[in-house]
Structure 1
Amino acid sequence: MNDSTTSSPQHLPTRIADVGGIPIHRAIPQRALRKVGAWCFLDHAGPADPAPPGMQVGPHPHIGLQTFTWMIRGEVLHRDSLGSEQIIRPGQVNLMTAGRGIAHSEESQEPWHIHATQLWIALPDAHRFCEPRFQHYPDLPTTRVGDFEATVLAGEALRLTAPAEVHSPLMGVDLHATDMASDASGVMPLRQDFEHAVLALSGRVSVNGEVLPEEQLLYIPQGTASIALECAPGSRLIVIGGEPMDEAIIIWWNFVARTSEEVHEAREQWEAHLRGDDGERGEPSRFGLPVASPLTPTHAPSLDGMSLRASK
């Protein structure tokens, strides 16, 4: 939810970061917007044509969340500590539920180009210690919104239900102006009990008559029934939304937790996992088996001097 309570839309900049050698634009979280519904993280990767070997993200851990990857261009190989090995291709979704703990790696496949969004969903308290799992969704429901091809990525929207198994009331829709010769327009209905956000992924996008520059997020508060869209040929945007999540959370590194003690414990368990001494008492590792990846695992950053506080 937006930290500064507002009843009007807000334009928010993204910031540039690096993931596995690929520059990305991070839209959520930021100081003014910690989450939209249960969506607590939104990265836009590419479009990029990096030199070989492309994006390479070594094994790293997650707790308390679901990672949600929507592939637009390129192919990425996912491996995890459950033994999953899956290539995600354009038009497909990977959903990894970390629950109590999981580790995974991501590797671009030839010809190395990439265009994708990766989001995190904060698991509600009742589900955040569930058993980890991985699900691949090659087929997603599609429809038309005016001149746009609309793909329902998550939850319910446009009278369609996405197959992804989520645990909070939310939605995600990809809108693509597929006619390369003409501008596109359409009206996207919204649930008034949801808050929403729109991210322009490519092209010239206008929302309710106001230009939304590429790599800028538009936050839309509850009570909005629809948005009017106008876009240049080939433009693309993503709309996410959800029932405001009132649970205060801590997002640190790759963890979503509720207390600083949980973060410290998960960090120490991951470092013990990398040392190979987390099972000395006969207990299985929280993060499962070593990921079958040739890439070097990632060590957790230091927590020295950090103050971790949960926020809504």
Structure 2
Amino acid sequence: MVRELLSPRRVQLGESTEVRRLLPNLGRRMVGAWAFVDHYGPDDIADEPGMQVPPHPHMGLQTVSWLHDGEVLHRDSLGSLQTVRPRELGLMTSGRAISHSEESPRPHARFLHGAQLWVALPDAHREVSPHFQHHTDLPVVTAPGLSATVILGALDGAVSPGTTYSP
């Protein structure tokens, strides 16, 4: 049963990436602690620069980067420089403040497809020290007809190594 069906709006990020933003949405600002849900691709960027999002600030949230295809180079004001690849977790906690950029490396894969989800930090953790985590080995839960990667939190006894501040 579908309780609520939301339609995304198209938003331009940086010079060349268009995302479909599901949250926030008219009538639905958040789902639990999830404040933004952006989906991009699959885009054929073979002859394009790919993702080119210049440095910009964040405060009081976490960004969860999850790729299906391609690569994104994360660079931030703490000195982090990390390429995030498919099925890896890129988790930036902004806390009191951080600035970061995201771009397709040069050279880059032909296709770019992924999502970025934003988690609003609870009041007690809004001023936490900013940090970036990159995890390549995430737990997978399997059952007949099911395989689920635990990106954040816990499911059926499997716990993601990513730091969370909300249940």
Q: TM-score, normalised by structure 2?
A: 0.92
Are 1:88 and 2:100 counterparts?
Answer: no
| Structure 1 counterpart of 2:28 | 33
Output the CA distance in 2 between the equivalents of 1:9 and 1:146: 26
| Structure 2 counterpart of 1:63 | 59
Structure 2 unmatched runs, 5+ = none
The CA deviation at 1:145 is 4.2
Matched residue type, 1:96: M
Contact (CA 8 Å) 1:100, 1:129: kept in 2 or not?
yes
Of Structure 1 and Structure 2, the greater strand share is in 2
Q: How does 1:248-259 map to 2 (within 5 A)?
A: none
Q: How does 1:193-232 map to 2 (within 5 A)?
A: none
Q: How does 1:154-233 map to 2 (within 5 A)?
A: 154-169=152-167
Output the CA distance in 2 between the equivalents of 1:158 and 1:98: 29
1:126-182 Cα distance to aligned partner (Å, 9 max, x none): 11011111110111101224323211111112331111101010xxxxxxxxxxxxx
Output the CA distance in 1 between the equivalents of 2:121 and 2:102: 22
The CA deviation at 1:112 is 4.6
Q: Which one of the candidate residues 131, 134, 159 is aligned to 2:132? A: 134
The CA deviation at 1:52 is 2.3
Matched residue type, 2:20: H
The 3-state SS of whatever aligns with 1:140 is: coil
1:258-295 Cα distance to aligned partner (Å, 9 max, x none): xxxxxxxxxxxxxxxxxxxxxxxxxxxxxxxxxxxxxx
Are 1:99 and 2:107 counterparts?
Answer: no
Contact (CA 8 Å) 1:65, 1:123: kept in 2 or not?
yes
The CA deviation at 1:49 is 1.0
Contact (CA 8 Å) 2:141, 2:155: kept in 1 or not?
no
Structure 1 unmatched runs, 5+ = 1-7, 170-312
Q: Which one of the candidate residues 38, 44, 52 is aligned to 2:48? A: 52
Output the CA distance in 1 between the equivalents of 2:95 and 2:18: 28
| Structure 1 counterpart of 2:5 | 11
The CA deviation at 1:69 is 0.4
- 1:159/1:38 CA distance change after superposition, 3 Å: same
Matched residue type, 1:77: L
1:16-69 Cα distance to aligned partner (Å, 9 max, x none): 122231221111111221111111110011111123211100100001101110
Matched residue type, 2:152: A
State the structure with more CA Rg.
Answer: 1
Cα RMSD (Å): 1.3
1:74-94 Cα distance to aligned partner (Å, 9 max, x none): 011110000000000111011
How many residues align? The count is: 162
Matched residue type, 2:41: G
Indicate the percent of aligned positions where both proteins have the same amino acid: 49
| Structure 2 counterpart of 1:24 | 19
Contact (CA 8 Å) 1:75, 1:112: kept in 2 or not?
no
